[in-house]
Amino acid sequence: MTAPDPFHQPCNMGDLLIRAIQRGGDRVAFILDEQQFTYREFGALLSRFVQALKARGLGRGDAIAVLSSNRPEAFLGTAASYLMGMRITWMHPLGSEDDHAYLLEDSGVTTLVADPGTFSERAHALKARLPALRTVVGLGPNDFGDDILAEAARFEPLPLVAEASPEDLCTLIYTGGTTGKPKGVIHTQRVHVSMVMAELSEWDWPQEVRFLAMTPITHAAGAMIVAVMMRSGTFVMNKGFDADKFFALVKKHRITATFLVPTMIYVLLDHPGLAGAELSSLQTIIYGASPMSPARLIEGMKVFGPVFMQLYGQSEAPNAVTVLRRIDHDPERFPQRLASCGRPIYDSQVRLLDDDGKEVPTGEVGEICVRGPLVMKGYWNKPEETAKAMRHGWLYTGDLARADEDGFLYIVDRSKDMIISGGFNVYPKEVEDVLTTHPAVAAAAVIGVPDDKWGEAVKAVVVLRAGASVSAEELIALVRDAKGAVQAPKTIDFADGLPVTGLGKPDKKALRAKYWGGQGRAVA
């Protein structure tokens, strides 16, 4: 076996974090409400936190988890893992007790750090439920375990040291579980370094970064923290999404960049407070996690300006497989590109392949497949699922797309959401994009429902704008004229809102369950 080459040893996430803290100095790193930390203050707190964990016997290779809403101290677990070479499991704050218990048990976590302000009751329940969970501590005074912040305060800050190897396991990111039990995606330090480098080099960052996170930092927004820190930016957090709070925080902190899922953008566009909001500081709105309606994107550009940038990635290849940059959002010259998820980033190979690993011709539908430094090592303790996702030398993402002559990819839907009606493939996103062009439609979700004649029939669930009205027949005709009879919904239901997952994505599993009952398609 060849010995490691000391002259070309890659850095790890701890190295990046230490450099970011040194560069940031007395600039403000984190803000939550009236609380703030400079880079120097956060570095001192992190040093104390690492020492407190080591005093408890934790070190390289150990597994921890953090259960907290958005707050600066919640990032300490991830930051300490980066430095110490531990493995952290990110836990969604909106998950159920069963969700959290499954993640902790499946990932082998022995130490849980919980926010007592929000999760005291949940910490008690998990501690009683999971014998393997040996230690539960709190980010502050609590009645379920020791206060890890008080323990940390007893230490004097020391210089931060990156102790991890680039190939150390770094995070277990659990998939959303829309097709059954969530799977733990294994990432190394090297993958996360590649992710940060891609974010820094490929994204449209403002010159001065003041970033607002209203989505959980346990997911995409949290994977942007180190990139913001590398630019000596300020990361402003909020515990959950609220339109009025969004407008207020953008104004108060002169926010220049943010990350939103499309459903949040729709809420902002439909909110009565939008007209009087002071949003001139915004230079980049990063959106992703689910497709966005081109019609609503054009509406957003009229309100916010040319500030939109789309990312496409997934837990298995995080945050930056393709990018649709601000300059690519050109409704005058290239309106069709507003339906695109962009082009591949610099160091990811991306192909549209069929099930046999063969590339499909330009313009035809294939599955987005990826290889390169962003790809996961596999699924935690799930070799069969890993083999299914990683075959023919590629990561099969489950997303179906077409490519144009210029290399832009157009996702037509998740492979599991494709409808087969009368032997024809129907891609729900293409139908949804037509429906949302109607001025009365705020949002739409298209699913297949059981049908004796067609096998599956196309059904649309539509949310109307406030005070607007339109008939089902008119919307069906709109799709028929644009896409043909096969794509046109057989039926349309009107609803006050669409179910969403904890990440704000449309939850088609929940939507289908209403129509499929106990049949398999509801959870497929």
User: Which residues in 36-60 are b (16+ Cβ under 10 Å) and which e?
Assistant: ebbbbbbbbbbbbbbbbbeeeebee
Tokens linked to 41: 């203050």
H or E stretch including 244? helix 243-253
- Per DSSP bridges, beta strands 455-464 and 441-451 are antiparallel
Which of 398, 415, 432 delimits the end of a domain? 415
At 155 the three-state DSSP class reads coil
Residue 7 lies in a domain: no
Q: What local confidence, expressed as pLDDT, does residue 358 receive?
A: 96
At 187 the three-state DSSP class reads strand
pLDDT of residue 180 exceeding 80? no
Tokens linked to 145: 């375990």
H or E stretch including 264? helix 262-270
| Judgement on whether residues 512 and 432 belong to the same structural domain of the protein | yes
| Judgement on whether residues 258 and 372 belong to the same structural domain of the protein | yes
423 band by pLDDT with thresholds 50, 70 and 90: low
- Beta sheet of 308-314, edge-to-edge order: 35-38, 28-32, 234-237, 210-213, 257-260, 284-287, 308-314, 317-324, 343-344
CATH value at residue 433: 3.30.300.30
| Segment 25-77, tens digit of pLDDT | 999 999 999 999 999 999 999 999 999 999 999 999 999 999 999 999 999 99
| Segment 287-301, tens digit of pLDDT | 987 778 898 999 999
pLDDT of residue 152 exceeding 60? yes
**Identity of residue 496:** D
Separation CA 467–CA 472 (nearest Å): 16
Count of domains observed in the chain:
3
Tokens linked to 37: 């930390």
Tokens linked to 451: 């049908």
| Judgement on whether residues 430 and 445 belong to the same structural domain of the protein | yes
Residue 226 lies in a domain: no
Separation CA 522–CA 524 (nearest Å): 6
H or E stretch including 7? none
| Judgement on whether residues 408 and 349 belong to the same structural domain of the protein | yes
pLDDT of residue 179 exceeding 70? no
Q: In sequence order, what are the beta bridge partners of 173?
A: 185
Q: What local confidence, expressed as pLDDT, does residue 351 receive?
A: 97
Report which of 427, 413, 438 is spatially closest to residue 494, judged by C-alpha positions: 438
Separation CA 271–CA 193 (nearest Å): 38
pLDDT of residue 265 exceeding 60? yes
CATH value at residue 336: 3.40.50.12780
Residue 28 lies in a domain: no
Separation CA 110–CA 96 (nearest Å): 19
* End-to-end CA gap in the chain: 44
| Segment 307-323, tens digit of pLDDT | 999 999 989 999 889 99
| Judgement on whether residues 430 and 377 belong to the same structural domain of the protein | no
Separation CA 77–CA 149 (nearest Å): 12
| Judgement on whether residues 252 and 130 belong to the same structural domain of the protein | no
Residue 353 lies in a domain: yes
Find the DSSP H helices in 56-107.
75-84, 97-107
- Per DSSP bridges, beta strands 419-421 and 424-426 are antiparallel
CATH value at residue 94: 3.40.50.980
The DSSP code sequence of 376-419 is -SEETT-HHHHHHHEETTEEEEEEEEEE-TTS-EEEEEEGGG-E
Sign of CA pseudo-dihedral 103, 105, 110, 116 = positive
Residue 135 lies in a domain: yes
Residue 472 lies in a domain: yes
Task: Tell me the mean pLDDT in the region 392-414.
Answer: 92
Q: By the 8 A CB rule, do 380 and 172 touch?
A: yes
| Judgement on whether residues 291 and 411 belong to the same structural domain of the protein | yes
- Helix pair 75-84, 39-55: axis angle to 10 deg: 70
Rounded to 5 degrees, φ, ψ at 32 are -140, 115
359 band by pLDDT with thresholds 50, 70 and 90: very high
| Judgement on whether residues 276 and 360 belong to the same structural domain of the protein | yes
Tokens linked to 512: 């289908």
Q: By the 8 A CB rule, do 292 and 262 touch?
A: yes
Q: What local confidence, expressed as pLDDT, does residue 523 receive?
A: 34
The DSSP code sequence of 330-356 is -TTT-GGGGG--BEE-TT-EEEEE-TT
Separation CA 56–CA 58 (nearest Å): 6
The DSSP code sequence of 206-238 is -SS-EEEE-S-TTTTTGGGHHHHHHTT-EEEE-
Over pLDDT 70: what percentage of the chain? 96
Which of 361, 396, 415 delimits the end of a domain? 415
Q: By the 8 A CB rule, do 337 and 330 touch?
A: yes
pLDDT of residue 177 exceeding 70? no
Residue 8 lies in a domain: no
| Judgement on whether residues 51 and 172 belong to the same structural domain of the protein | yes
User: Which residues in 131-170 are b (16+ Cβ under 10 Å) and which e?
Assistant: eebebbbbbeebebbebbbebbeebebeebebbbbbebbb
| Judgement on whether residues 50 and 176 belong to the same structural domain of the protein | yes
| Judgement on whether residues 409 and 287 belong to the same structural domain of the protein | yes
Which of 391, 415, 439 delimits the end of a domain? 415
Q: In sequence order, what are the beta bridge partners of 237?
A: 32, 213
**Identity of residue 140:** G
Q: By the 8 A CB rule, do 112 and 134 touch?
A: no
Q: What local confidence, expressed as pLDDT, does residue 522 receive?
A: 38
Report which of 113, 68, 62 is spatially closest to residue 84, judged by C-alpha positions: 62
| Segment 210-259, tens digit of pLDDT | 999 998 898 889 999 999 999 999 999 999 899 999 999 999 999 999 99
**Identity of residue 372:** G
In terms of residue numbers, what domain contains 256?
Answer: 241-415
| Segment 77-132, tens digit of pLDDT | 999 999 999 999 999 888 889 989 999 999 999 999 999 999 999 999 999 999 99
Separation CA 114–CA 127 (nearest Å): 11
Residue 183 lies in a domain: yes
What burial class does residue 356 get, using C-beta atoms within 10 Å of its C-beta: 0-12 exposed, 13-18 middle, 19+ buried? exposed
| Judgement on whether residues 254 and 375 belong to the same structural domain of the protein | yes
The overall average pLDDT reported for the chain is 91
Q: What local confidence, expressed as pLDDT, does residue 157 receive?
A: 98
Residues with Cβ within 8 Å of 467's Cβ and at least 6 positions away in sequence, in order, are none
The whole-model pTM stands at 0.85
